[in-house]
Amino acid sequence: MTGPLRLATPAPSVNAPLPAPRWARWTAHSVALAVLPSTIWRLGLASGFRLGYTEDGYEGISPSGAWGPAYLIALSLLSELAALLTLGLVHRWGEVVPSWVPLIGGRPIRRRTVLVPAWLGVGALAVLWTPFLFWWAMPHDDMTPTGHTLVGFVYLPLVAWAPLLAAVTLSYQRRHRPARG
Protein backbone atom coordinates (compact mmCIF):
# COMPACT_ATOMS: atom_id res chain seq x y z
CA MET A 1 0.00 0.00 0.00
CA THR A 2 1.46 3.28 -1.02
CA GLY A 3 0.35 6.66 0.15
CA PRO A 4 1.67 10.03 1.09
CA LEU A 5 4.82 10.05 3.13
CA ARG A 6 4.06 11.10 6.68
CA LEU A 7 6.76 12.19 9.03
CA ALA A 8 6.39 11.10 12.58
CA THR A 9 5.81 14.02 14.91
CA PRO A 10 7.38 13.75 18.32
CA ALA A 11 5.03 13.28 21.22
CA PRO A 12 4.63 16.49 23.22
CA SER A 13 6.62 16.68 26.40
CA VAL A 14 4.70 16.40 29.66
CA ASN A 15 6.02 19.82 30.71
CA ALA A 16 5.62 21.49 27.31
CA PRO A 17 3.21 24.42 27.42
CA LEU A 18 0.12 24.42 25.30
CA PRO A 19 0.21 26.64 22.22
CA ALA A 20 -1.34 30.07 22.60
CA PRO A 21 -5.03 30.13 21.70
CA ARG A 22 -6.01 31.99 18.56
CA TRP A 23 -7.74 34.78 20.52
CA ALA A 24 -4.52 35.42 22.49
CA ARG A 25 -2.45 35.64 19.30
CA TRP A 26 -4.95 38.10 17.77
CA THR A 27 -4.99 40.12 21.00
CA ALA A 28 -1.19 40.29 21.15
CA HIS A 29 -1.06 41.54 17.57
CA SER A 30 -3.77 44.11 18.28
CA VAL A 31 -1.57 45.65 21.00
CA ALA A 32 1.04 46.63 18.41
CA LEU A 33 -1.73 48.09 16.25
CA ALA A 34 -3.23 50.02 19.18
CA VAL A 35 0.08 51.82 19.74
CA LEU A 36 0.61 52.64 16.07
CA PRO A 37 -1.66 55.75 15.72
CA SER A 38 0.05 57.62 18.57
CA THR A 39 3.44 56.55 17.24
CA ILE A 40 2.67 57.98 13.82
CA TRP A 41 1.32 61.18 15.39
CA ARG A 42 4.50 61.64 17.49
CA LEU A 43 6.68 61.02 14.44
CA GLY A 44 4.70 63.73 12.64
CA LEU A 45 5.39 66.13 15.52
CA ALA A 46 9.09 65.20 15.37
CA SER A 47 9.03 66.03 11.66
CA GLY A 48 7.90 69.56 12.42
CA PHE A 49 4.16 69.30 11.76
CA ARG A 50 1.95 70.96 14.39
CA LEU A 51 -0.74 68.26 14.06
CA GLY A 52 -3.48 70.04 15.96
CA TYR A 53 -1.44 72.32 18.18
CA THR A 54 -1.62 76.07 17.98
CA GLU A 55 1.66 77.77 17.16
CA ASP A 56 2.25 78.65 20.82
CA GLY A 57 1.11 75.20 21.93
CA TYR A 58 3.49 73.47 19.54
CA GLU A 59 6.43 75.52 20.77
CA GLY A 60 5.44 74.68 24.35
CA ILE A 61 5.53 70.92 23.81
CA SER A 62 8.35 70.83 21.28
CA PRO A 63 11.69 70.98 23.06
CA SER A 64 14.10 73.17 21.17
CA GLY A 65 17.21 71.87 19.46
CA ALA A 66 17.93 68.44 18.07
CA TRP A 67 16.91 66.67 21.29
CA GLY A 68 13.21 67.50 20.89
CA PRO A 69 12.62 65.47 17.74
CA ALA A 70 15.06 62.81 18.93
CA TYR A 71 13.05 62.45 22.15
CA LEU A 72 9.78 62.05 20.25
CA ILE A 73 11.32 59.49 17.88
CA ALA A 74 12.87 57.54 20.77
CA LEU A 75 9.57 57.59 22.67
CA SER A 76 7.76 56.31 19.58
CA LEU A 77 10.26 53.51 19.01
CA LEU A 78 10.24 52.48 22.68
CA SER A 79 6.44 52.42 22.72
CA GLU A 80 6.30 50.20 19.66
CA LEU A 81 9.05 47.94 21.04
CA ALA A 82 7.18 47.57 24.33
CA ALA A 83 3.99 46.75 22.43
CA LEU A 84 5.79 44.22 20.24
CA LEU A 85 7.12 42.47 23.35
CA THR A 86 3.53 41.35 23.93
CA LEU A 87 4.04 39.00 20.99
CA GLY A 88 6.56 37.09 23.11
CA LEU A 89 3.67 35.96 25.29
CA VAL A 90 2.20 34.00 22.37
CA HIS A 91 5.30 32.97 20.40
CA ARG A 92 8.16 30.57 21.06
CA TRP A 93 10.68 33.37 21.68
CA GLY A 94 8.75 34.17 24.86
CA GLU A 95 9.51 30.67 26.14
CA VAL A 96 13.04 29.95 24.86
CA VAL A 97 15.79 32.50 24.19
CA PRO A 98 16.36 32.57 20.41
CA SER A 99 19.43 30.56 19.36
CA TRP A 100 21.10 33.60 17.77
CA VAL A 101 21.46 35.32 21.18
CA PRO A 102 25.09 34.87 22.33
CA LEU A 103 25.78 32.81 25.47
CA ILE A 104 22.15 32.18 26.46
CA GLY A 105 20.54 31.23 23.14
CA GLY A 106 18.38 28.12 23.35
CA ARG A 107 17.83 28.32 27.11
CA PRO A 108 14.27 28.24 28.44
CA ILE A 109 12.97 31.47 29.92
CA ARG A 110 11.72 31.15 33.46
CA ARG A 111 8.01 31.73 33.88
CA ARG A 112 8.54 34.40 36.52
CA THR A 113 11.02 36.27 34.29
CA VAL A 114 8.19 36.79 31.82
CA LEU A 115 5.23 37.25 34.17
CA VAL A 116 6.66 39.80 36.61
CA PRO A 117 7.48 42.43 33.97
CA ALA A 118 4.25 41.69 32.10
CA TRP A 119 2.05 42.25 35.15
CA LEU A 120 4.06 45.32 36.16
CA GLY A 121 3.53 46.60 32.62
CA VAL A 122 -0.22 46.07 32.95
CA GLY A 123 -0.25 48.19 36.12
CA ALA A 124 1.96 50.93 34.69
CA LEU A 125 -0.02 51.12 31.45
CA ALA A 126 -3.34 51.29 33.31
CA VAL A 127 -2.09 54.20 35.42
CA LEU A 128 -0.54 55.95 32.42
CA TRP A 129 -3.30 55.64 29.82
CA THR A 130 -6.63 55.26 31.65
CA PRO A 131 -6.89 59.04 32.23
CA PHE A 132 -7.21 59.45 28.45
CA LEU A 133 -10.79 58.21 28.84
CA PHE A 134 -11.47 61.73 30.10
CA TRP A 135 -9.54 63.53 27.34
CA TRP A 136 -12.59 65.28 25.91
CA ALA A 137 -13.69 66.54 29.33
CA MET A 138 -10.43 68.44 29.84
CA PRO A 139 -9.74 71.78 28.19
CA HIS A 140 -6.63 72.07 26.02
CA ASP A 141 -6.10 75.72 25.17
CA ASP A 142 -2.85 74.92 23.36
CA MET A 143 -4.73 72.91 20.69
CA THR A 144 -7.17 73.70 17.95
CA PRO A 145 -10.64 72.12 18.33
CA THR A 146 -9.89 69.75 15.45
CA GLY A 147 -6.49 68.93 16.92
CA HIS A 148 -8.05 68.22 20.31
CA THR A 149 -10.42 65.73 18.68
CA LEU A 150 -7.65 64.21 16.57
CA VAL A 151 -5.32 63.65 19.53
CA GLY A 152 -8.19 62.14 21.51
CA PHE A 153 -8.81 59.56 18.81
CA VAL A 154 -5.10 58.92 18.24
CA TYR A 155 -4.42 58.24 21.92
CA LEU A 156 -7.70 56.51 22.81
CA PRO A 157 -6.48 53.07 21.60
CA LEU A 158 -3.72 53.25 24.23
CA VAL A 159 -6.42 52.93 26.90
CA ALA A 160 -6.94 49.37 25.63
CA TRP A 161 -3.24 48.49 25.97
CA ALA A 162 -3.39 47.49 29.66
CA PRO A 163 -6.48 45.25 29.45
CA LEU A 164 -5.25 43.63 26.23
CA LEU A 165 -1.84 42.95 27.79
CA ALA A 166 -3.56 41.62 30.92
CA ALA A 167 -5.60 39.15 28.85
CA VAL A 168 -2.55 37.88 26.96
CA THR A 169 -0.49 37.70 30.16
CA LEU A 170 -3.21 35.70 31.89
CA SER A 171 -3.30 33.33 28.93
CA TYR A 172 0.49 32.89 29.15
CA GLN A 173 0.28 32.36 32.91
CA ARG A 174 -2.37 29.66 32.56
CA ARG A 175 -0.53 27.88 29.75
CA HIS A 176 2.72 27.86 31.72
CA ARG A 177 1.41 26.64 35.06
CA PRO A 178 3.97 24.61 36.97
CA ALA A 179 3.36 20.88 36.82
CA ARG A 180 1.65 19.55 39.93
CA GLY A 181 2.58 16.43 41.78
pLDDT at res. 10: 46
| Mean pLDDT value of segment 19-28 | 95
The DSSP letter of residue 89 is G
Q: What are phi and psi of 96, to 5 degrees?
A: -135, 135
| pLDDT single digits (tens) 76-115 | 999 999 999 999 999 998 889 888 888 888 899 999 999 9
Q: What predicted TM-score, i.e. pTM, was given to this entire model?
A: 0.83
Q: Is the pLDDT of residue 17 over 70?
A: yes
pLDDT value of residue 27: 97
Predicted confidence at residue 160, as pLDDT, reads 97
**177 Ramachandran zone, left/alpha/beta (phi>0; psi -120 to 50):** beta
Instruction: Classify 157 as helix, strand or coil.
Output: helix
Q: 151 with 135: CB under 8 angstroms? A: yes
Q: What is the pLDDT of residue 136?
A: 83
Residue 128, φ and ψ in degrees, nearest 5: -70, -45
Q: How far apart are CA 80 and CA 77, in angstroms?
A: 5
The tens digit of pLDDT for each residue in 113-156 reads 999 999 999 999 999 999 999 988 888 888 899 988 999 999 99
pLDDT grade, residue 48 (50/70/90)? confident
Kindly state the helix (H) or strand (E) to which residue 68 belongs, with its residue range.
helix 67-85
29 compared with 7, residue with greater pLDDT: 29
Helix (H) or strand (E) holding 34: helix 22-46
On the question of pLDDT at 13 being above 80, the answer is no
Task: Give, rounded to a whole angstrom, the gap between the first and last alpha carbons of the chain.
Answer: 45
Distance CA 56, CA 128 (A): 26
Write the CB contacts of 131 (distance below 8 Å, at least 6 apart in sequence).
none
Please tell me the distance from the alpha carbon of residue 85 to that of residue 180, in angstroms, as a whole number: 29
